[in-house]
């Protein structure tokens, strides 16, 4: 997309704030939990990190190898859970979902649809699922699990702006 003249100062200001933020990105391919733990310990002692985000869990390598993908994901899930407990840093792991019925791709995934292993959903303290209807720009965000809080579904609706590839406040076009 294109930025208007009034958007440039906002972008510059946001970029300045972001460059000063204590955010550390590691894009090591096939990172193992053992390697992540070592990096997390170092960053925690030097910068007191308070959150670890794993973008696309299925690309990580567990310490215990397996040719079976379900067992591999089960091992990975357990290792991340134990790491979060021992390092006292919450870990947000982003995972894909697999539909139970491939003809129903227009629904928010259920708790049991975590790709490759339901163990991920079991180990997690909370699970949030995103989904959208076919030909819709409305993203539904549903909390499927909250181990230490209120049980039930919360739905947050946001619009997806394809032109700028961003989420924005939901506008009910029927109201």
Block mean pLDDT (10 aa), the chain, length 175 = 84 91 88 93 93 88 81 87 93 79 64 72 83 71 78 67 77 70
Instruction: Please report the pLDDT score of residue 124 as a whole number.
Output: 86
Instruction: Please report the pLDDT score of residue 139 as a whole number.
Output: 73
Instruction: Please report the pLDDT score of residue 52 as a whole number.
Output: 94
Residues 71, 77, 78, 84, Cα dihedral to 10°: 160
**How far apart (Å, rounded) are the C-alpha atoms in residues 164 and 45?**
38
Instruction: Please report the pLDDT score of residue 154 as a whole number.
Output: 60
Instruction: Please report the pLDDT score of residue 68 as a whole number.
Output: 84
Contact yes or no for 60/76 (Cβ under 8 A): yes
Instruction: Please report the pLDDT score of residue 45 as a whole number.
Output: 94
Instruction: Please report the pLDDT score of residue 100 as a whole number.
Output: 61
Instruction: Please report the pLDDT score of residue 16 as a whole number.
Output: 93
């Amino acid at each position: 997309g294109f930025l208007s003249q009034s958007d440039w100062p906002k972008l510059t200001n946001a970029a300045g704030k972001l460059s000063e933020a204590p955010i550390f990105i590691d894009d090591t391919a096939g990172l193992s939990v053992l390697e992540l733990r070592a990096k997390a310990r170092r960053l925690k002692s030097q910068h007191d990190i308070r959150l670890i985000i794993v973008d696309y869990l299925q690309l990580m390598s567990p310490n215990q190898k397996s040719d079976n993908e379900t067992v591999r994901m089960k091992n990975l899930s357990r290792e991340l859970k134990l790491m979060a407990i021992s390092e006292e840093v919450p870990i947000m792991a982003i995972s894909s979902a697999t539909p139970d019925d491939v003809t129903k791709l227009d629904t928010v995934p259920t708790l049991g649809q975590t790709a490759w292993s339901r163990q991920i959903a079991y180990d997690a303290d909370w699970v949030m699922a995103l989904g959208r209807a076919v030909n819709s720009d409305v993203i539904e965000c549903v909390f499927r699990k909250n181990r230490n809080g209120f049980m039930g579904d919360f739905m947050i609706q946001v619009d997806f702006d394809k032109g700028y590839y961003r989420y924005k406040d939901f506008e009910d076009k029927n109201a």
